Amino acid sequence: MAKALDRELFNYILQLDEAEKKSVLQMLKTFVKGRDVKTSRITIERYNKEIDEAIARVEAGEFYTQEEAERMAKEW
């Protein structure tokens, strides 16, 4: 069963363009990272680092426009 699921996931990943792959990768990282996160508050340093990283991604063009997000939502 797991092998069939792995193959199905892989087949879908192969169909994605670069931007979609980056988005899915970020989502998967969030899922895995979420397993290890405790319910405690984060530090201001970590918060600021995450904000800086997000700003850097946007400045590098790693984002979707509203129109792109709406188009992708319709395709699902």
Which amino acid, 73?
A
Cβ atoms of residues 26 and 20 within 8 Å: no
User: pLDDT tens digits, residue range 15-45?
Assistant: 999 999 999 999 998 888 877 656 678 899 9
Lowest mean pLDDT: which of 2-16, 34-48, 52-66?
Answer: 34-48
The token pair that represents 46 in the structure block: 């970590």
3-state SS, residue 40: coil
The token pair that represents 65 in the structure block: 């426009």
Q: Is the pLDDT of residue 48 over 60?
A: yes
pTM above the 0.75 mark?
A: no
Q: Please give the mean pLDDT across all residues of the chain.
A: 89
Q: Is the dihedral of CA 34, 32, 68, 75 positive or negative?
A: negative
